[in-house]
Amino acid sequence: MSALVIVLIVCAIAAAGFVLGRARALASAGGDIRGLHSLPSYYGLNVALAALLPALLLLALWSIAQPLLVERSVAAMLPDGVDSALVMSDVRRVADGLALAVAQGALSPQEVAALDADATDLRATLGDVGVALGSAVTPEILDAARTHRAMSATGDLWRAIVVIAAALAGTAVGWSVTNSALRARNLVERVALALLAFAASVAILTTLGIVLSLIFNTLEFFRLYPASEFFLGTTWSPSFGGGSELGILPLLWGTLYISFIALLVAVPIGLFAAIYLSEYASPGVRGIVKPLLEMLAGIPTIVYGLFALLTVGPLLVELFGNGGPLGLGWMDGGTAVMTAGLVMGIMLIPFVSSLSDDIINAVPQALRDGSLGLGATRSETVRQVILPAALPGIVGAVLLAASRAIGETMIVVLGAGAAARLSMNPFDAMTTVTAKIVSQLTGDADFSSPEALVAFALGMTLFVITLVLNVFALWIVRTYREQYD
Amino acid sequence: MDDLRRTEALLSQQQTKISARNVQVWYGDTHAIKDVSVEIADKTTTAFIGPSGCGKSTFLRCINRMNDTIPAARIEGDIEIDGEDIYDRRVDPVRLRAKVGMVFQKPNPFPKSIYDNVAYGPRIHGLARGRAELDAIVEKALRRAALWNEVKDRLTAPGTGLSGGQQQRLCIARAVATEPEVLLMDEPCSALDPIATAQVEELIDELRQNYSVVIVTHSMQQAARVSQKTAFFHLGHLVEFGDTATIFTNPEDSRTESYISGRIG
Amino acid sequence: MSDAIAPTPPARAVSLHATDARTRRRNAAEKRFKAYGLTAIGIGLAFLAALLFAIVSNGSAAFTQTFVEVPITLDAEEIAAAESSIVKTSKYREIIHGALLEQLADAGIETDMDAAELGKILSSSEAAEMRDFALANPERMGETVRFDFLASSRVDGYLKGRVTRDALARDQNLDAAHLDLVDRLAEQGIVVKRFNWDFILGADASDQRPEQAGIGVAMLGSFFMMLVVLALALPIGVAASIYLEEFAPKNRITDFIEVNISNLAAVPSIVFGILGLAVFIQFAGLPQSAPLVGGLVLTLMTLPTIIISTRAALAAVPPSIRAAALGVGASKMQSVFHHVLPLAMPGILTGTIIGLAQALGETAPLLLIGMVGFIASNYPDGVVSGFTDPNSAMPAQIYEWAKRADPAFYERAWGGIIILLLFLMTMNFIAILLRRRFERRW
């Protein structure tokens, strides 16, 4: 019985429990709801929750534990000395394939029991039901898969029985304690509060998921490839045949170079735009210009990527490439640090300008009045009073923008090129950490090879860098805000 | 004491510093100042009193054109300082404000050192030709604001670290550092405790010897204590203007009397 | 106040009406500073204009497509013969090319090309199209049916001005003679350009046939992902916000959750892709490339946005409302669910729509969970398979087109962007309307 069916059955039991509980509460008060502690539906909900929560919790735990237990006992059957992770994934696929074949009627359970890996072409049979296998099935794997399937089937049956029994038991307990004096609302609200708190902790679970998935795979990578060479290597040349050099330095250099150019574009433009909008512009102009600039922030990054690849890149080549009007010959192809940096800068303009705008507006009007009242011009007021006062906040905003630039993916994937190199020329194609995460994980790579696992180490590096920047920037901005609150 | 003040006032009254004629101010559709004419004497403290929202602060801000910084404000009429129309096209508000200093309701020291706060005006107006001269200007201004002895050992400390009364005196020092001829004060003591208020009031009386001081206050006692001339504003009108003693003891207009005796406002 | 005594300052006898050099300099500096600000805004707006211009000028062509009208007499015998051959489509192709040659003769256009050479102006999808029609309509055997075949992408590009005669010099497929013929056919109304619904509703095609590619299936993929995001992110986000804003005790754990949420909002999207790959696909064994998984990843990405805006909406409800509900004997939970939440709903919905719009445009994490490539070439069979069958999403489909070698796909990519931006603009417009309509001042 599949998990979905079990959930539906449990829900049906809970619905029945709701009706029963509500009725029992009303009956215990002699049909007069004034005799009840809580509204009747709270008694119903109480019973329904007693049915749902233990059953669903049990289902979740069972569903996590069962595959682990099954695989452990199957792994014990396999001969020693084989790459167990690889073989296990084969076993799992064959087992799934067999289950699917039986479900679709391509094989009968008896046929499965009688299957012989040497005689039958299992690969073709399973291919017909939609399970593609990488290599032919050996007798050991077939045996293991059969055991796997049998154990899983038994486990699934027991899971259904136990979970449904738990739901029924919960209903019974909930129903039996129902009487007019039961504080049903308090019980229900306590559960509701727990659910709300659980929802709030999803954020923590997400972070935990990110950290764990990065750490485990990164450690796995460092088992296959020395960490010192990863962090200090100056060559990036993965080859899926083996013998890859996976040094992060060229990627970090590309990332930082592109981010630097992006900030060089975004910070002056964004900051001056924010100053003009908050200190000079009339409300009418502000009301038009601000949303227009913020439109730049609402445009998806894929659009910027395409803009870099197809518009800005060719334009820059025309200007700076061979035979351009400037006759410089600096640029060979459209994808370059300059292309990606420029377009990323455009993307960050509204980010810098709206953050700076908030921060400049948080500077108290009294300081402006004080400066103007002494006979300072507006620009003197901005430069000598407002900007120094807003400086911490603006630094925070720039750091947030930098973190955004470092983590940006689509613009660099499309606009920066694929060559990992350590070069000073901004018109060279270079690549970044994010672009390489994409390219290492979207090929047909085997996920246990260092060439694929390196993406997790890259992701870990990226996560740590941006996290440090964010925490620091948010801390600065918050301290700054508190200063004027 | 009162007699002495009156004599002093009469002595310096001869010279009119600021003269306003038929001034009207609108904020958008609101008519905030209605046809106000007043002559403010040099080396005198003039107090503007009246209930909140009566236009006294608005009128004060017309004198150094601070209302220019509010886009919705519109001003008509003439205001002359030393016989020169300050709303003339040739007048640069930046230079006007150097000549007409202003102290605000809430102490607003810049987030800079005490020294830099006071040196800010002289620096932007180019009043000092070197570090030594600037030092001298800062010291003089701080002495004049009666703050020198308290801060002379920590001139590099941030101005925001001072107490409220010290901050307000720092703002006064900042305003007098540019050698203004008129000093406008917009409820300068409303955010201060009684002791700090007494210090600032004493200071105002000292400053009057050199400047024409105009002070907006909602405290009638304060007006009586520090000013020689008092103007009573009500609903945008200048109701009555005259010697402080006369206004408080023998007002002509019934509205003034009601306000002074506490029946309105 | 002994130190306050100072001599009367000398009155500066400079008239206010005279200007001095220093003031002029300062005012010039003021003007320059203001000009910098205006320049910055000008540059920002110019970038926006350039971006929008590039999108519209490059993408609008994707919405029209060139078709070649060919009347073909369906001959039962010919079709039976084609069906019995090994490479069925090649027989159909012969029939079509023959019919095209006939049509040329009827129209009085002379050519020395043979049928196969002439057929190069058609898309290579033509045979499959005819076969599908013939097999689906056996009752129309013997009739003459007018087929509208897609022209090849080169011909399409030539008529749209994308492909020049010079560029064709190096092309193996078409040459100038074909283009002369196309010009004559266009005059005769046999080659026509029409609005192309198949681009909006159709499926992706192989990289040999850009003229056939459409974004419709990827649009469905995006739609199913958005359903997942809406179904998960809205309830979880609202529940989390209610807890943090109304119930959470002020302690370390709550602080930690709050810091966590604001940091999650700034984690690069690609990291969420890694999370999805490692947790949902590798660990939990969910199917790769499925909108369900894409939706889960985007849910986690969108949650911080929704939580932040929902908390703002809850905080904007004045405490007096809560006090009023508590005062008549409602429990804290009842006061929140009966009074605070309904009042905060417009703000919550606005934040949710903006979060959805962000999720709709997100590409990078989808690449990692495999929502790329040709997989958007079949419509899902039903609702369940809509969630679980491999599919792409609009931005991922655009990325796929941008990567392909044939520049004819670039036009598709820009066109896809127009559609994507129309969706985003509609969503933002709804959000603005909601905000205007229900804006409440306490």
Q: Do B120 and A371 touch (CB under 8 A)?
A: yes
The last residue of a domain, from among C163, C195, C227: C195
Closest CA to C232 of C336, C303, C304: C303
Report the residue of C16, C22, C27, C33 to disrupt the B interface, i.e. the one with the largest count of B CBs within 10 Å.
C16
Mean pLDDT of C300-314: 93
**What local confidence, expressed as pLDDT, does residue A1 receive?**
62
pLDDT tens column, A330-381: 777 888 899 999 999 999 999 999 989 988 988 888 999 999 999 899 999 9
Q: pLDDT class for A234, splitting at 50, 70, 90?
A: confident
Q: Do C16 and B126 touch (CB under 8 A)?
A: no
Report the residue of C3, C19, C23, C33 to disrupt the B interface, i.e. the one with the largest count of B CBs within 10 Å.
C3
**What local confidence, expressed as pLDDT, does residue A378 receive?**
92
For residue C81, being part of any structural domain is answered with yes
**What local confidence, expressed as pLDDT, does residue A69 receive?**
85
For residue B72, being part of any structural domain is answered with yes
Q: Which residues of B touch A377 (CB under 8 A)?
A: 94, 124
Question: A377 and chain B: CB distance < 8 Å anywhere?
Answer: yes
Q: What is the mean pLDDT of chain A?
A: 86
The last residue of a domain, from among C38, C60, C82: C60
Question: A388 and chain B: CB distance < 8 Å anywhere?
Answer: yes
DSSP state of C382: S
A389 to chain B, minimum CA–CA distance in Å? 6
For residue B156, being part of any structural domain is answered with no
Report the residue of B81, B90, B123, B149 to disrupt the C interface, i.e. the one with the largest count of C CBs within 10 Å.
B90
The three state secondary structure string of chain A is CCHHHHHHHHHHHHHHHHHHHHHHHHHHCCCCHHHCCCCHHHHHHHHHHHHHHHHHHHHHHHHHHHHHHHHHHHHHHCCCCCCHHHHHHHHHHHHHHHHHHHHHCCCCHHHHHHCCCCCCCHHHHHHHCCCCCCCCCCHHHHHHHHHHHHHHHHHHHHHHHHHHHHHHHHHHHHHHHCCCCCCHHHHHHHHHHHHHHHHHCHHHHHHHHHHHHHHHHHHHHHHHCCHHHHHHCCCEECCCCCCCEECCHHHHHHHHHHHHHHHHHHHHHHHHHHHHHHHHCCHHHHHHHHHHHHHHHHCCHHHHHHHHHHHHHHHHHHHHECCCCCCCCCECCCCCHHHHHHHHHHHHHHHHHHHHHHHHHHCCHHHHHHHHHCCCCHHHHHHHHHHHHHHHHHHHHHHHHHHHHHHCCHHHHHHCCCCCCCCCCCCCCCCCHHHHHHHHHHCCCCCCCHHHHHHHHHHHHHHHHHHHHHHHHHHHHHHHHHHHC
Percent of chain A scored above 90 by pLDDT?
A: 40
Mean pLDDT of A397-415: 93
Q: Do A373 and B95 touch (CB under 8 A)?
A: no
Q: Do C257 and A189 touch (CB under 8 A)?
A: no
When CB atoms are compared, the residue of B95, B110, B112 closest to A375 is B95
Q: Which residues of C touch B121 (CB under 8 A)?
A: none
CATH code, domain with B49: 3.40.50.300
Q: Which residues of B touch C26 (CB under 8 A)?
A: 94, 124
Q: Do C1 and B92 touch (CB under 8 A)?
A: no
Report the residue of B91, B201, B205 to disrupt the C interface, i.e. the one with the largest count of C CBs within 10 Å.
B91
When CB atoms are compared, the residue of C38, C268, C368 closest to A442 is C368
For residue A120, give the amino acid letter.
T
Mean pLDDT of C60-68: 88
Which of C 345-364 lie inside 8 A of A, CB atoms?
A: 357, 360-364
Q: pLDDT class for C5, splitting at 50, 70, 90?
A: very low
**What local confidence, expressed as pLDDT, does residue C3 receive?**
44
Question: C271 and chain A: CB distance < 8 Å anywhere?
Answer: yes
CA dihedral (A467, A468, A471, A472) positive or negative: negative
**What local confidence, expressed as pLDDT, does residue A408 receive?**
93
Q: Do C48 and A295 touch (CB under 8 A)?
A: yes
At CB < 8 Å, which residues of chain B contact C? 81, 84, 86, 88, 90-92, 94-96, 99, 124-126, 140, 143-146, 148-149, 179, 181, 202-203, 206, 209-210
The domain A236-484 is placed in CATH, from the list 3.30.470.20, 3.40.1390.40, 2.60.40.2250, 1.10.3720.10, at 1.10.3720.10
Q: Do A283 and B95 touch (CB under 8 A)?
A: no
Size of interface A-B (CB pairs under 8 A): 69
For residue C364, being part of any structural domain is answered with yes
Mean pLDDT of A125-137: 66
Q: Where are the domains of chain A?
A: 3-98+143-200, 236-484
**How many structural domains does chain B have?**
1
Looking at the fold, whether C110 and C252 belong to one and the same domain comes out as no
Question: C16 and chain B: CB distance < 8 Å anywhere?
Answer: yes
**What local confidence, expressed as pLDDT, does residue C6 receive?**
43
Q: Is residue C360's pLDDT more than 60?
A: yes
For residue B38, being part of any structural domain is answered with yes
B236: left (phi over 0), alpha (psi -120 to 50) or beta: left
When CB atoms are compared, the residue of C6, C22, C26 closest to B143 is C6
Spatial strand order in the sheet of B100-103: B100-103, B182-186, B212-216, B45-49, B229-234, B237-243
Q: Is residue A85's pLDDT more than 90?
A: no
Range of the domain at B228: 2-108+181-260
Pairing of strands A245-246, B16-27: unpaired
Q: Do C3 and B149 touch (CB under 8 A)?
A: yes
**What local confidence, expressed as pLDDT, does residue C9 receive?**
45
Looking at the fold, whether C88 and C52 belong to one and the same domain comes out as no
Tokens of C380: 């899902």
Looking at the fold, whether C108 and C39 belong to one and the same domain comes out as no
Q: pLDDT class for A433, splitting at 50, 70, 90?
A: very high
Q: Which residues of C touch B146 (CB under 8 A)?
A: 1, 3-4
Token look-up 């007069």 returns A32
Q: Is residue C4's pLDDT more than 70?
A: no
Closest residue in C to B98 (Cα–Cα): C16
Closest residue in B to A366 (Cα–Cα): B108
Question: C424 and chain A: CB distance < 8 Å anywhere?
Answer: yes
For residue C154, being part of any structural domain is answered with yes
Q: Do A374 and B174 touch (CB under 8 A)?
A: yes
For residue C71, being part of any structural domain is answered with yes
pLDDT tens column, C133-155: 888 888 888 888 888 888 888 88
Q: Do A410 and C363 touch (CB under 8 A)?
A: yes
CATH code, domain with C269: 1.10.3720.10
- C-alpha of B170 from chain center: 15
* Alpha-carbon span B96 to C185, nearest angstrom: 79
Mean pLDDT of C246-268: 89
Closest residue in C to B124 (Cα–Cα): C26
For residue B162, being part of any structural domain is answered with no
B179: left (phi over 0), alpha (psi -120 to 50) or beta: left
Give ipTM to 2 decimals: 0.89
Looking at the fold, whether C42 and C71 belong to one and the same domain comes out as no
Closest residue in A to C373 (Cα–Cα): A442
Question: A366 and chain B: CB distance < 8 Å anywhere?
Answer: yes
Q: Do A385 and B64 touch (CB under 8 A)?
A: no
Q: Do C410 and A414 touch (CB under 8 A)?
A: no
Q: Do A199 and C34 touch (CB under 8 A)?
A: no
Q: Do B88 and C16 touch (CB under 8 A)?
A: yes
Report the residue of B67, B108, B178, B184 to disrupt the A interface, i.e. the one with the largest count of A CBs within 10 Å.
B108
Q: Do A372 and B106 touch (CB under 8 A)?
A: no
The residue that leads in pLDDT, B93 or A98, is B93
Looking at the fold, whether C287 and C424 belong to one and the same domain comes out as yes
Size of interface B-C (CB pairs under 8 A): 55
When CB atoms are compared, the residue of A185, A382, A409 closest to C364 is A409
Q: Do B206 and C16 touch (CB under 8 A)?
A: no
- C-alpha of A91 from chain center: 29
**What local confidence, expressed as pLDDT, does residue C145 receive?**
83
Which of C 55-114 lie inside 8 A of B, CB atoms?
A: none
**How many structural domains does chain C have?**
3
* Alpha-carbon span C331 to A399, nearest angstrom: 44
Which of C 110-169 lie inside 8 A of B, CB atoms?
A: none
CA dihedral (A226, A230, A232, A236) positive or negative: positive
Q: Do A305 and C277 touch (CB under 8 A)?
A: no
Range of the domain at C434: 216-438
**What local confidence, expressed as pLDDT, does residue B206 receive?**
87
Q: Is residue C251's pLDDT more than 60?
A: yes
Q: Is residue A221's pLDDT more than 60?
A: yes
Give the neighbours of chain A: at least 3 Cβ pairs within 8 Å.
B, C
Looking at the fold, whether C294 and C322 belong to one and the same domain comes out as yes
Looking at the fold, whether C115 and C171 belong to one and the same domain comes out as yes
Q: Is residue B54's pLDDT more than 50?
A: yes
Q: A289-298, B6-15, B100-109, C142-151: which range is least confident on average?
A: B6-15
B71 to chain A, minimum CA–CA distance in Å? 7
